Amino acid sequence: MIHRLLDDKRLGRAHSAAELQALIQGVLDGSVTRAQAAAWLAFVCCRGMTRDETVALTQAMTDSGDKLAWDGLSGPFIDKHSTGGVGDKVSLILAPVWVVMGMKVPMISGRGLGLTGGTLDKLEAIPGYNTRLQPEALRRQLEEVGCFICGQTDRLAPADRVIYALRDETGTVPSVPLITASILSKKLAEGIQRLVLDVKVGSGAFMKSEEDARALAESLAAVGRGAGLEVDVHLTDMSQPLGEAVGNALEVEESIRCLRGEGPADLHALVCQLSGDAARADAVLRSGAALPVFERMVAAQGGDLSVQLKGGGCEETVLRAERAGTVTRCDAEQLGLAAFVLGAGRVKASDDVHFGVGLRVHKKRGASVVVGEPLVTLVHDGSRGLDAARRHAFAAFEVSLG
């Protein structure tokens, strides 16, 4: 069977849903070898997949493991996925906001690979926060708190873990159908009805050009709907960092400020936009009503917000404007690299992140500055990456006269 499927995909012919189910099963049980799977991934990368094939692949990957089910609990059940960016801490805020708005949020998130930490890395800056929950705990927490944010279990979409590792090894990550199936297979396994997608575009995003981001957004929306989800897609800016804080503990602090209604305007606005009811989310944030939900979620997962976040004791170095004018560039990628060299991100899944390091961005695009005003504060451990971070952070800014 596999040789015929390899021939078909090499020649650009579409697979049936049954063939894709068998292929994924074979990848998992080893009857399709790693070399065969890698060749198939390469053919998909070059030849693409139809929407129907992508729906079937997604479904096969979801069906490769357990699916969470919330029978007996009242929904609606909603989650969001962001393709990730510098300073993107929206999940920490949006989950409790949705709970106040009457929804349940079973959010399964990931750790970051690349410039900065992912949602789980941020939450793990809270001492005691447990990202590995048992199925009974998930249900109890959804019932009692209304949301959880935890990590993927071994039994959720296991085919994605195997295939993602092969894609990473063989340079076949950048394929819209493969990315779509990878993201959506995990979301479909959460037992949700609605999915909000935040596809970032700009220098700090996975998709740098609007054309690429749009293609991914359209694929995610069409395949998500094809698999039975209600999908809402947003293309949002990642040419500069989101909010002012970049770095794990720093972003937890900023999320808490935002939950008090005191967050930076762009972060507050994006949470409102993604919520699906901007006026209501704005009122929830301004009232502070979602903060106790966040606190209950953290406590239910073993976290202690009454003590200092992890990674404390860092030093601060302020970079100041060398000329007066208007900030015309505050580049997300360069600032992400600055945070990365300080230790906020990781290259391999097994690397540790430093919880305390990162940046506070004081001036973003459109702000006026005078000579000597702070542009960004580097929060660092005294030595690691400081010179390189300084170079990246300076390269991020452009100040134009007038």
Given the residues 186, 354, 362, 380, the one annotated as active site: 186
Is residue 54 a contact residue for ligand URA (CB under 6 A)?
no
CB atoms within 10 A of CB 6: 17
Instruction: Confirm whether 119 is a catalytic residue.
Output: yes
Nearest to ligand URA of 42, 173 (CB atom): 173
Q: 222, 160, 233: which is closest to 190 by C-alpha?
A: 160
- Distance separating alpha carbons of residues 3 and 266, to the nearest angstrom: 51
Is residue 183 a contact residue for ligand URA (CB under 6 A)?
yes
The DSSP secondary-structure symbol of 308 reads P
- Distance separating alpha carbons of residues 381 and 357, to the nearest angstrom: 7
Instruction: Confirm whether 67 is a catalytic residue.
Output: no
- Distance separating alpha carbons of residues 357 and 116, to the nearest angstrom: 10
Query: How many chain residues are in contact with ligand URA, going by CB under 6 A?
Result: 4
Given the residues 82, 116, 203, 275, the one annotated as active site: 82
Is residue 179 a contact residue for ligand URA (CB under 6 A)?
yes
Nearest to ligand URA of 179, 321 (CB atom): 179
What's the min distance (Å) between Cβ of 83 and ligand URA?
A: 7
Instruction: Confirm whether 186 is a catalytic residue.
Output: yes
- Bridge partners (DSSP) listed for residue 108: 150
Nearest to ligand URA of 182, 255 (CB atom): 182
C-alpha R_g of the chain: 22
What's the min distance (Å) between Cβ of 154 and ligand URA?
A: 16
- In the three-class reduction of DSSP (H, G, I as helix; E, B as strand; rest coil), residue 30 is classed as coil
Instruction: Confirm whether 7 is a catalytic residue.
Output: no
Whether the link from the prior residue into 76 is cis, omega within 30° of 0, is: yes
- Distance separating alpha carbons of residues 279 and 266, to the nearest angstrom: 15
Instruction: Confirm whether 80 is a catalytic residue.
Output: yes
- Distance separating alpha carbons of residues 192 and 78, to the nearest angstrom: 5
Given the residues 9, 15, 81, 194, the one annotated as active site: 81
Instruction: Confirm whether 167 is a catalytic residue.
Output: yes
Nearest to ligand URA of 118, 146 (CB atom): 118
What's the min distance (Å) between Cβ of 70 and ligand URA?
A: 22
- Distance separating alpha carbons of residues 331 and 203, to the nearest angstrom: 7
What's the min distance (Å) between Cβ of 286 and ligand URA?
A: 33
What's the min distance (Å) between Cβ of 1 and ligand URA?
A: 25
Given the residues 9, 111, 187, 194, the one annotated as active site: 187
Site for ligand URA in 148-177 (CB under 6 A): 173
**Which residues have C-beta within 8 Å of that of residue 24, sequence separation ≥ 6?**
57, 60, 61, 63, 64, 159
Point out the residues that are catalytic.
79-82, 119, 167, 182, 186-187
Which spans of this chain sit near ligand URA (rule: CB under 6 A)? Answer: 173, 179, 182-183
